[in-house]
Amino acid sequence: MGGATGFERQMKFSEQLEARYADMITHYPAKRSLLVPFLLYSQDEYGYVTNDVIAELSRRLEITELDIRNVISYYSMLRTKPAGRYNVQVCTNICCLLRGGEQMLERARQRTGVAVNKGISVDGVFSVEEVECIGACSWAPAMQVNYEFHENLTPEKIDQILDDYRQKAERQ
Amino acid sequence: MATLVSHPDEVKVVTSRFGKGAANIDRYLELDGYKAVRKALELGADGIINEMKASNLRGRGGAGFPTGMKWSFVPKVSSKPKYVLCNGDESEPGTCKDRLIFEHDPHAVIEGAMIAAIATGAHAAYIYIRGEYRYLLEIMQKAIADAYARGFAGKNIFGSGYDLEVYWHGGAGAYEVGEESALMESLEGKRGVPRIRPPFPAVVGLWGGPTVINNAETLASVPHILLMGGTQYAEIGVERNGGTRLFSLSGHVVRPGVYELPLGYSLRKAIYEVGGGIADGRTLKAVVPGGSSVPCLKPDEIDVALDFDSMMKVGTMLGSGGIVVLNDQTCIVKFALRTIQFYRHESCGWCIPCREGTDWLSKSLKRFHAGGGVARDIDNLRYLAENMLGRTFCPLGDAAAMPIIGFVKKFREEFEAHLDGRPCPYEKHGAPNALPVLSR
């Protein structure tokens, strides 16, 4: 797939992602420096870090695909498989734990029908993930749905929030 | 987003623009914005560093290193470009203060970074914000673009002839990246594996150039220091601990929130007056006073001043200023287990004492909490943790070991209560995750 085979695949980034690349590449004296934030932006665009993105970045940044995959595996937000349209990330770290974080995770799992960690609901609307501290300690328990923060949660609030996202998904 | 709280004992310096729309550059200018950087250009490098030294500002990330001294370590002449790096990778459990700074006063961080650059002769500053804080990264991107549009950043800033580029950078989820050398690796597009020191970043940092790395709150304090003068800032705090600090109060208090208190403020008052005491009429069992990485204090140990030196004297640390309050219904074993599970998840695996130590501690505590512990385990936990201390490549290993040592030392009876296959005394039968949900 990569440079080693001699059959380099070239993908075309979306216009938005290409603009992002063009901007970010000017920020640094060494071009691979854009890797981490750019991978996350590509994930936002395609749902996960795709093989094509990895191959294309390997070509542009002149580093191996293996090197890029090593980087991806280090960062907990980067994934190489799809998640649900709404990725529900419930914090159970100490401050959330003290205020019921584990019950919130359980409730989110029940409401979405996603039983396993990082699993996806049958309809593809939700995935649920138990995450480490998201920086909402004073407003615990908390979760993030994609990038949106939801704080001072109660089981009832979780139901309401998730139902709203489900409706939003159905409307689209 | 996150709600703001207030208390009469607060001294609002860094938070003085919170809730006033200062993310807007015009509003920021009305509120004395970008005055300090102009003053910095007049003062020059030595003048700025003298003010910083006089201010007794110490790093707000957790280590508490004097900022002025850190800046003075950067060599005046360097063959490689020098850099300023703002650490906005806030991820220490219990800490949620930088989030508010980025949301309410992003220009103060930019201005602080610019002053740090002028003081050290750097011509580029990077502001690194953790990946989960996407909305804050967007606020920062706009703030930087606005600063460029006004000519405050870029070539010839404020017509001074000084060139200074300011860039944003985003993370993608990794606690360890908050450690300064791992932060640089991450910014260079690599796994956040820490670097060996020496050489220290002030000499060999980003892309091999001398680099100053400061926490976002540290940098946000800098413009205020230059405007009010270092000596006056120092007077707000106590000896060798200048100014104020943003404390994130969380856990079982009546009024959790982020409060700006002068250094040297009483921990007891922070919990009982500022935080309103223990919620739901419960009593205090323990407090983790500086983020998840520090040893806990028992109720009879909280008459201590919140400054770096006083906290050190009572065997803990001021750390990141995250004060986590635990009530009498909290199972310490469970809390210790959740703490170590975090470090196990975040250990990069680069060095063996941390990788294996966090894994062993996590496995032992899990078995222990489930009722499968034996008496010997209690001493083993402590032995394991003590042997991690000082033997790891970066402070993550110490951060994992210190709280565990504290819990075992101070709450041995709670560990003993789990022995002989007894169920956890704090969990109701059939409800394995039953820490009570608090009323609001």
Domain boundaries, chain A: 3-74, 86-171
Q: Which pLDDT belongs to residue B3? A: 85
β-pairing, A143-145 vs B322-327, is: unpaired
- CATH 3.10.20.600: does it fit domain B244-327? yes
Minimal C-alpha gap between A55 and chain B (Å): 16
Instruction: Say whether B188 and A151 touch across the interface (CB within 8 A).
Output: no
Confidence at residue A4, expressed as pLDDT on a 0 to 100 scale: 52
How close are the terminal C-alpha atoms of chain A, in Å? 35
- Asked whether the beta carbons of residue B81 and residue A29 sit closer than 8 angstroms, the reply is yes
User: Residue B87's CB: how many other CB atoms inside 10 A?
Assistant: 26
List, for residues B337-348, the tens digit of each pLDDT value: 999 999 999 999
Beta strands in B369-414 (DSSP E): none
With an 8 Å Cβ cutoff, are B172 and A36 in contact? Answer: yes
Nearest C-alpha neighbor of B79 from the set B208, B184, B213? B208
Structural domain B332-416, CATH architecture: Up-down Bundle (1.20)
pLDDT at position A124, please? 95
Which class for B123: exposed (0-12), middle (13-18), buried (19 or more C-beta within 10 A)? middle
Residue intervals in chain B for CATH 3.10.20.600: 244-327
The DSSP result for B407-436, as a single string, is HHHH-HHHHHTT-TTPPPTTS-TT-TT-PP
DSSP letters spanning B118-168: HHHT-SEEEEEE-TT-HHHHHHHHHHHHHHHHTTSSBSSGGGSS--BEEEE
**Nearest-CB residue to A94 (from B94, B170, B187):** B94
Is A78 in Cβ contact with B94 (below 8 Å)?
no
What values do phi and psi take at A120, rounded to 5?
Answer: -120, 140
Q: What is the DSSP letter of B25?
A: H
- pLDDT, tens digit (0-9, with 9 covering 90-100), for A65-101: 999 999 999 999 999 999 999 999 999 999 999 999 9
Query: Quick one: pLDDT at residue B1?
Result: 60
Burial status of residue B239 (CB atoms within 10 A of its CB: 0-12, 13-18, 19 or more)? exposed
Do A1 and A51 contact (CB within 8 A), yes or no? yes
Contact A29 B207 (CB under 8 A): yes
Q: Which residue pairs from B192-197 have beta carbons closer than 8 angstroms and sit at least 24 positions apart in sequence?
A: B192/A74, B192/A75, B192/B348, B193/B348, B193/B350, B194/B348, B194/B350, B194/B393, B194/B394, B194/B396, B196/B393
How far apart CA B265 and CA B261 sit, in angstroms, is 7
Best A26, A40, A44, A98 member to test B by mutation, with max B CBs in 10 Å, is: A98
**A27–B94 CB contact, under 8 Å:** no
**% helix / strand / coil in chain A, to the nearest 5?**
50, 10, 40
B101, B102, B103, B104: CA torsion to nearest 10: 50
Nearest CA in chain B to A102: B433
The answer to whether the beta carbons of residues B103 and B143 sit under 8 Å apart is no
pLDDT at A162 over 90: yes
Query: A with B: how many residue pairs have Cβ under 8 Å apart?
Result: 166
From A146-150, B76-80, B243-247, B420-424, the region with the lowest mean pLDDT: B420-424
Residue of A nearest to B437 (CA): A100
Yes or no, beta carbons of B2 and A151 under 8 Å apart: yes
- CB nearest to A94's CB, from B2, B99, B339: B339
CA nearest neighbour of B128 among B120, B136, B119: B136
The beta-carbon neighbor of A138 closest among B130, B186, B250 is: B250
Ranges for all domains in chain B classified under CATH 1.20.1440.230: 332-416
Q: Please give the pLDDT value at position A9.
A: 63
What residues of A are in contact with residue B3 (Cβ under 8 Å)?
Answer: 139
Write out chain A residues lying below 8 Å of B126, CB-based.
Answer: 27
Q: In B, which residues are within 8 Å of A61 by CB distance?
A: 189
Inter-chain residue contact B2 with A27, CB threshold 8 Å? no
pLDDT at A2 over 80: no
Strand partners, B88: B129
SS3 B208: helix
Contact B131 A103 (CB under 8 A): no
Residue range A132-155: average pLDDT? 97
The answer to whether A154 contacts B345, with C-beta atoms less than 8 Å apart, is: no
Give B51's Cβ-side CA count (13 Å radius).
24
Q: Is B349 in contact with A70 (CB distance < 8 Å)?
A: no
Inter-chain touch A94–B249, beta carbons under 8 Å: no
Q: What is the pTM of this model?
A: 0.95
Chain A positions touching B288 (Cβ under 8 A) are 94
What stretch of H or E contains A104? helix A101-112
Contact state of A139 with B438 under an 8 Å Cβ cutoff: no
Domain with CATH 3.40.50.11540 in chain B: 25-236
Q: Which residues of A touch B171 (CB under 8 A)?
A: 36-37, 75
Which of B3, B93, B207 shows the shortest C-beta gap to A137?
B93
Give the dihedral sign, CA B12/B17/B19/B23. Answer: negative
Average pLDDT over residues B257-286: 97
- What is the tens place of the pLDDT at every residue in B225-258? 999 999 999 999 999 999 999 999 999 999 999 9
pLDDT at A10: 79
Whether residue B334 contacts residue B363, with contact meaning beta carbons closer than 8 Å, is answered with: no
Helix (H) or strand (E) holding A154: none
Nearest to B197 by CA among B403, B410, B418, B394: B394
Reported as a single tens digit per residue, the pLDDT across B350-408 is: 999 999 999 999 999 999 998 888 999 999 999 999 999 999 999 999 999 999 999 99
Chosen for mutation from A68, A75, A95, A109 (greatest number of chain B CBs closer than 10 Å) is A95
Q: What's the CA dihedral at B286, B290, B295, B299 to 10 degrees?
A: -30
Closest residue to A137, CB basis, from B95, B207, B342: B95
Angle at A83 (CA atoms; ends A77, A89), nearest 5 degrees: 55
Q: How far is CA B134 from the centre of its chain?
A: 19
CA distance to partner chain A, nearest, from residue B385 (Å): 19
> What does CATH list as the number for A86-171?
3.40.30.10
Structure tokens at A79: 């994934």
Q: Are B233 and B224 in contact (CB under 8 A)?
A: yes
Fold of B25-236: Rossmann fold (3.40.50)
Q: What is the pLDDT of residue B57?
A: 98
Q: What span, in angstroms and rounded, lies between the C-alpha atoms of B118 and B244?
A: 24
